Chain A
């Protein structure tokens, strides 16, 4: 078991190093000079002043050193929790800006992922029992999984925000309010949170329901189900076994889907102008703030890796077969 976790950790560590390296490379080899564009915004005409400011900024951002030194100092900074300084919101540190946005993203993402997985699985298992439910839920599920996140988000924003006026369609909270721990503010937060959450939840739901429905039908046809039926076991017991065994591929599915879901969440945030990492990515892109962009990507990568690692561990706990293989098994 520990050897397995150790091996997994090593793989994740390697993935992390590669991800960080690519992450560092992309903005640096992207066309465009961020310092130049910052200076052009200041519209300085004196060439001598321009030159001095250029070298000043290059020194501040560490762009005057050779590439390999930039790379090493990037890693060094990483371990100190220093991701550099934002260009867009100069001179605020990147880490502070990200930490301000992360709670919003997590608040949408975690409940959407976990609830849609649980509800979708229950729903799918339930649908597998009856022909009528199966024939109605399945097509709906297919439409839902095929729906792009931001398209559904737009639809919800239009229907429930603009037409019905039930929910606000933009921002994390009303601009008229100051952040405070009051009932009014919390309620406002929830109202702003609801639509981004709902569109994430609904799209993910369909996929899980379809997957579970198919898995349950497969498991109910499995040999052990037939055997138990021949021995007169009640349907309840057989369904319980089938549900549990059908869960296993769904857990794997969750790990595989995680990246897609997070990408969907970022797009959804942009649609609702929700102040999470998604909107931040868009802002930093338009402002060529590659320190910020880099920091956000790093957070997303680390988040996905951690989540995948957790799922790996959970899988080992729920499927005895992987556990047996790891301990070598006693034949």
Chain B
């Protein structure tokens, strides 16, 4: 088991109180698993992605643990996390377009980073060039400044750079959101290829684009208002979702071949609850058509069939 997250709670500190962005998140990630992490804006998916590598100054670790390859991650201790970063856990950020220092040539920046992490750039140079070619980039990009590259090229440079040390876990936070559809596809395919070649052991792919995740992920985890709604294999989530939220989310996606005249796509009425003072019980109950009195108690996340977890009184 690569990654084991247990009852993780991470709050944002604000002047008006704590925002419960992650409120008891528990899941496992197997070796070689690519997990799509989906949900609406503000459901905590990016917070979860960040919590696995680096809490920013407003984020506070309140409880729960993260275990990677049998070792506990000291996520609350910024300095103690440093040895894990890049070597064990790496990140393709949401802002990959601007993740490179604009005034350094890309090759030089990578070398400086490697040296700062106690590695000899010369040892890795060959591997770096091979991987750049693998994602379809000319090794000449190392002599270029970021401004000379297109968005898709920068994205791929960041991908190669982030995975250069073969991390156990790669977090891709909306890594393809800023790209056009065809580039999205090729980046997603390269990510799968990186996993297949063993450059990364497992991957958490944070996205709001379920159709993209469907093409590349082994499993999908759906979050709602700081909690996990459902986690299952990709085909189960798409074809046979159990949690009412997942069902409504999937039915809101257009299907190939269908036209708007036949069926009008339904959104999910209502808005997610504020997380400053989250409601008790199931957080989806106000928008859920199947809600009943039991929903005032918090439903536990249960394994309803092997590898299929859901948190709903109706499914358990």
Contacts and interface: CB of A to CB of B under 8 A. Distances in A.
Interface of A: 222-224, 226-234, 236-237, 241, 244-245, 248, 318-321, 324-325, 329-331
B98 to A, nearest CB: 4
Main secondary structure of the interface of B (DSSP, over half): loop
Interface in B201-230: none
B52 to A, nearest CB: 10
B86 A231 contact: yes
B302 interface: no
27 contacts: A222-B98, A223-B93, A223-B99, A224-B99, A224-B102, A226-B56, A227-B93, A227-B99, A227-B100, A228-B113, A230-B53, A230-B91, A231-B85, A231-B117, A232-B84, A232-B86, A236-B116, A237-B112, A237-B116, A241-B103, A245-B101, A248-B103, A318-B103, A320-B105, A329-B147, A329-B148, A331-B150
A117 B56 CA distance: 33
Contacts of A227: 91, 93, 95, 99-100, 158
Interface in B70-95: 81-87, 90-91, 93, 95
B313 interface: no
A236 B54 CA distance: 18
Contacts of B93: 223, 226-227, 230
Nearest to B115: A237
Contacts of B85: 230-232
B103 A233 contact: no
Given A320-B103, A321-B102, A233 B54 contact: no
Contacts of B148: 324, 329-331
Contacts of B162: 231
A270 B208 CA distance: 67
Contacts of A229: 54
B145 interface: yes
Given A241-B101, A324-B147, A329-B148, A230 B116 contact: no
A227 B158 CA distance: 10
A231 B113 contact: yes
A244 B158 CA distance: 22
Point out which of B81, B148, B150 has the most chain A C-beta atoms below 10 A from its C-beta. Answer: B148
Given A224-B98, A324-B145, A329-B148, A232 B82 contact: yes
Point out which of B81, B98, B99 has the most chain A C-beta atoms below 10 A from its C-beta. Answer: B99
Contacts of B113: 228, 231, 233, 237
B295 to A, nearest CB: 38
A195 to B, nearest CB: 39
A230 B162 CA distance: 10
A321 B147 contact: yes
Interface residues of B, number: 34
A231 B91 CA distance: 7
Given A224-B98, A320-B145, A321-B145, A233 B117 contact: yes
A220 B181 CA distance: 32
Nearest to A222: B98
A292 to B, nearest CB: 46
Nearest to B50: A230
Nearest to A325: B147
A234 B84 CA distance: 13
Given A226-B93, A227-B91, A232 B117 contact: yes
Nearest to A236: B116
Complex A-B, nearest 10 residue pairs according to Cβ-Cβ distance, in ascending order: A232-B85, A227-B99, A223-B98, A223-B95, A231-B86, A320-B145, A232-B82, A230-B91, A237-B116, A224-B101
B54 A230 contact: yes
Given A232-B84, A245-B101, 12 more contacts: A223-B95, A223-B98, A224-B99, A224-B100, A224-B101, A227-B91, A231-B90, A231-B162, A232-B81, A232-B117, A320-B103, A324-B148
A222 to B, nearest CB: 7
B104 interface: yes
Interface in B99-138: 99-105, 112-113, 116-117
Nearest to B145: A320
Point out which of A229, A231, A329, A331 has the most chain B C-beta atoms below 10 A from its C-beta. Answer: A231
Nearest to A245: B103
A81 B98 CA distance: 52
Given A224-B98, A231-B113, A241 B104 contact: yes
Contacts of B144: 330
Point out which of B82, B86, B101, B104 has the most chain A C-beta atoms below 10 A from its C-beta. Answer: B101
B142 to A, nearest CB: 14
A231 to B, nearest CB: 4
Contacts of A223: 93, 95, 98-99
B83 to A, nearest CB: 7
A226 B85 CA distance: 13
A224 B56 CA distance: 14
A321 B103 contact: yes
